[in-house]
Every structure is written in C-alpha cells, then in structure tokens.
Amino acid sequence: MCGIIGYAGTEEACPILLDGLERLEYRGYDSTGLALFTKDGGLLRLRAAGRLSALRRCVTQRLEQGADLHGNAGLGHTRWATHGAPTKENAHPHRSQEGKYTVVHNGIIENYAKLRGELEAAGIRFASQTDTEVIAHLLEQLDTGNPLETLRRALPRLEGSYALGVLYHAQPGTLYCARRQSPLLAASCVRGVLLASDAAAILPFTRTMFRLEDGEMAQLHANGAIFFFDAQGRALQKAATEIARHTTAADKGGYVHFMRKEIAEQPECLARTLAPLLSGGEIHLGESEAALENPGGIRRVLFLGCGSAHHAGITGRMLVEELSGIPASAELASEFRSAATAVDRHTLAVIISQSGETADSLQALRLAKEKGARTLSVINVEGSSIAAESGSVLYTRAGLEVAVATTKAYSAQLAALCALAARLGALRGQDPARLRDFVRSLAALPELAREVLADTEATAHAWAQELQSVQHAYFLGRNLDYATAMESALKLKEISYIHAEAYAAGELKHGTLSLIEPGTPVVALCCRPEVIPKTLGNAQEALARGAKLFCVTNRQNPLPERCLTLPPCHPLLVASLAVLPMQLLAYHCADLRGCDVDKPRSLAKSVTVE
C-alpha cells in the first residue's frame, strides 16, 4: 500500500526512481509520480493516474519535448487512494503553494480536515483532495530556512500515521524524511543515498540499511552521509540492519502471472520454512524458543492477523489445542483493540503478517505487549516493524511474494504454525508417539504439496470454466476445512470479483440455505476425517435444492459428480493441502474472466494504514 523511493547521489535520478517504483508495484497502487531536481536547480514534477507505465510514457513525452530530466536527486511514489480519487491531481508528490517543499507520504493524517481548514483560512489554495497536501503547506507555513527544524516543528501537529519523504527547494542534493507508524528505510551506497518504504527498492544497491523508528527523522546527503535525529532534533546513532536479498520481482520464471509462479513455488517454500525447524524427528524453533520458556505459564495462545493471516491463525488455533492442549483463540487484529479480550502475562500472542508492516497487526502487537503478553510474530519479511517489536520472531521462508493475493506466504505460515503447535505440545509433555507421527508427516508435506499441485491443475481449470460466469459461490467446511473454506472464498472474490462466502457447514441450514437455488455453485471441503460424514450431509442438503456441487476430499469419491481427490495425509495437515487446488481454482477463474490477476482492483499487498 503506497510506496516511497528517494535518491540523491552521483547517478541520474530519474531511471533509479522509476526502477524503484517498479520494484514497489507489488504493494498495490493506483497512481504514480516523481519529483526531480534538475541540473539547473529547478524542481520538476511528473504525475499520472493508473499504472507505472503511464508515468513512464509521461517521462518519454517530456524528454521528446526537450524537458531537462538530467538530475541527481528526487523522490518517487506509488499511491493507493484514501483521501481523494486516484487522479493525476491527487497523485504524489505534492508541493507547497510557493514550491519550497515537495512531499511524498505513506499513511493517513487523521486531523487533516482541521489543518486544511486552518491553512485555507490563512489563504492557502489547495490543488488536491489529499491529506498529504496539508503536510507540504504546513511545512511552508512553519518554514525557518532550516528544513530539519521546520520538520521537527510540524510533526507534532500531525495526528495519525506517516512515512514522509521531503525535498527542500534550496537544497537540491539532500533528502529529508520522518516516520510514525509507517515503515521507512534509509541506506548509503557507492552511488549515493536512498530512501524507501520497502527493502525491495533498495536491495539492488545494498543489503545494509537503517530502519527509522517512530518519531525519528533523517537527513540524507548525496555524498553518502546520513544523519538521524529524534523527535526533539537531537542526533542519534543507529545500527544498520542486514537484509537478505530476495528473488527479483521482475522475473516471472516463464509464467504469465506472478501468482501462478508463486503457487508453483509452494513446495520449495514449505521445505525452506521447515528445514531450520526440523531436526532428528523433533522440532526446535531456534531463537523463537525464547517465547516458550516456562511453557506451563502459558495458559492461552492468541492468534492475531488480518485477511489470509487471520485464516492461518484460525488454523493455528485448532492445531495448538489439538497438539498441546492449551486453550487458543484467533482474533482479527483490526478488531482486537476494541474488544474486551482478556490478555495477560499468561498469554502467548502470535502475530501473523506476511509483510510485517500490517498496521492493524502492529497495533495489536503493541496492545498485547502493554497487557503483559509474551509475543511471537510469524513474519515473511526480515527486519520488518512487527519483527523488530516482537519478543520473538518465527520467520517463514517464502521469499518475495509479488502478487497481491497471497499463496506461498500463506502456505509457509501454516507450516510455521504446525511447527509451533507441535513444539508447544512437546514442551507441555503431550503424547510423544503422537507428536513424532505428526512431525514425520510434516516433514513429508513439501513433497505431498508438489504432488497435489501436479495432480489437481487440470481439474481446477475445468472447474474454473464452469464458475467463470457465475455471480455468487459458497464454500462449506467444518473444523480445519472451515478455515480452508474461508481462505478459498477470499481468494476467489479478491482476484476474480466473484462474490464468494464461506460457511461452517453446520450453519448452512441456519439461514444461508435460502440462498441456494438451481445452479448455485457450492464447494464442499471434506478432508478432516472426523467431520466428513456431517459435511457431506450438509452438501447433500444443497444438492437437493439444485446446487452445482463441487467436492474436495482425501477419501474415495463420496458424491456422484465433480470430485477432486487429494492424497491421504495426516488429519491435522489437511488445511495445507486442500488450499492448493483452491488457489488454482481462483487463479484460473480470474484469468478466464480477464482480470488483473496480480493487481486486483482497490487492493494493496501491504496494508500499512488502519
């Protein structure tokens, strides 16, 4: 959600900014822009609604018209619209009225309406509907001639979240930045300095970078020097972070879409995630073991996440209760702060996030810590904000995930949660033989996943041909199958725009059955052995009312039509296998409908606002 790239140094800035924006495309956006200090000291701004290709065309046109784009410093931005439609006028960067300050911003300024009213009363004319433009005008109103001091004075006036990149008209070789509750990185390399909201934009230049913390500011100079300051303007000494280099986001590996490539990568991702955790038929969580010290003191495990991460948490809840006997629950991170949840020092709070920057999950983590809970995050991005603030971190090893709809990161989360549940069971003295059997099955999961992907591709495509023209679809399941149904419905609706809902199968007759009419697609997930007969009974109720029934099972075909059969597996691992053909189903539906599979409308990869 929104992306910032800044550069100052010895190279041409425009190509670096454009390439950086391309590496940030996976986050989701609907307009783009850049501001560039030109050789003559001027400040040129180019913006476009839509994809980055539109901004590249704008750059090409300006070059053909003789514009000077040969500068060595500037800022770029990909915007995901919040305040104001995704138009050129609302695209970043935004300028102050007299052009002294140019700003890019990730986050939301919650008191922007009040500030805008004050600025308009002072004679300021606004050119956009955004909350960000308020920042540029406020900086100019408070300008002291010293941009850092001006920034320090302005920040306390801003309520909400922000990652800011700032250019000052009289200092063409310098970038300024500040952060509160939205990620921001700074780095120095042989070519100069870089500023970015995501490591992906910096990694082509260096793996060493600095993470700004809440309330911090920085001043970046083209000669490679970076100076950090606290909220009072006092100089700070910061330690650099070493970030692992991701697979390039530009490589689809021969696939038409990143999502299809990432679905295919899941067996390798599972193997990478599990390899450091499995040893000699047992599970050890490495540095994450610190969160499990004195396991008898853990009386509750609370899973917190949003979207697919929440579905992974629901699965984790069931796994923890079955394998360790510890009571567990899963809550939406976005609802956690408003719920009267009993959390204390006997709670292990597990925060799940692919990016590690999910704003609601970060706030939930902070609240859990305030209440005294132990915290363990399950994260895919090394050095992210949630990872930095958690008591312990259990990293998944999915690599860079480009498609907005998560696939391989979700599978890696499930694998990590399987390991966590088994480790808690061992520490709590649960049946060793049962745990050994589960761990052996978990070790075999990558190969089973490979088999499922190969064997179900054709069936998933055939089902998609039947579903591509429908308006509604329903997914049914019980227990672990219900968690899979929730994730399956989300996948279908977020990329194909087919309205899809998931129901605990036993709830079908408590209202939803009235929506089933001849031809309504119903996908029944029947993989958890203990509940298959009951789920089949609910599926038959839908079938009797004319539903077009699709069944996913790991048993012999229990229904007369449309059955996708998975290989037998451990009953607690069914969620990890059943979700794979459902990802393929969603992918093929979206592809057949001509949807933008990797960048579904209105969605962002990393949701950094609440």
If one counts every other C-beta atom within 10 angstroms of the C-beta of residue 99, the result is 13
DSSP state letter for 512: G
CA–CA separation, 303 and 326 (whole Å): 13
If one counts every other C-beta atom within 10 angstroms of the C-beta of residue 472, the result is 14
CA–CA separation, 63 and 338 (whole Å): 52
Distances (CA, A) of 37 to 47, 79, 92, 102, 194: 15, 21, 16, 11, 15
Give the rounded distance of the alpha carbon of 47 from its chain centre.
25
Q: Is residue 10 classed exposed, middle or buried when 0-12, 13-18 and 19+ CB atoms within 10 A define those classes? A: exposed
Residue 174: beta bridge partners?
Answer: 221
Is 605 in the active site?
yes
If one counts every other C-beta atom within 10 angstroms of the C-beta of residue 266, the result is 26
In this structure, what token pair is assigned to residue 133? 């433009």
* Beta-sheet strands, E only, within 68-113: 73-79, 94-95, 101-106
Q: Evaluate whether 201 touches 24 at the Cβ level (below 8 Å).
A: yes
CA–CA separation, 382 and 539 (whole Å): 43
Distances (CA, A) of 235 to 144, 193, 212, 229: 19, 18, 13, 4
In this structure, what token pair is assigned to residue 331? 């809550």
Q: Which residue is catalytic, options 100, 408, 493, 605?
A: 605
Is 189 in the active site?
no
Residues 6+ away with beta carbon under 8 Å from 99: 43, 169
Where do runs of H (alpha helix) occur along 325-444? 333-336, 359-370, 385-389, 408-427, 432-443
Give the residue from 197, 169, 176 showing the smallest Cα distance to 43.
Answer: 169
Give the residue from 20, 176, 165, 182 showing the smallest Cα distance to 104.
Answer: 165
Give the residue from 168, 188, 305, 311 showing the smallest Cα distance to 238.
Answer: 188
Q: Is residue 245 classed exposed, middle or buried when 0-12, 13-18 and 19+ CB atoms within 10 A define those classes? A: exposed
Residue 377: beta bridge partners?
Answer: 351, 393
Q: Which residue is catalytic, options 2, 551, 563, 569?
A: 2
Which of the residues are catalytic? 2, 605
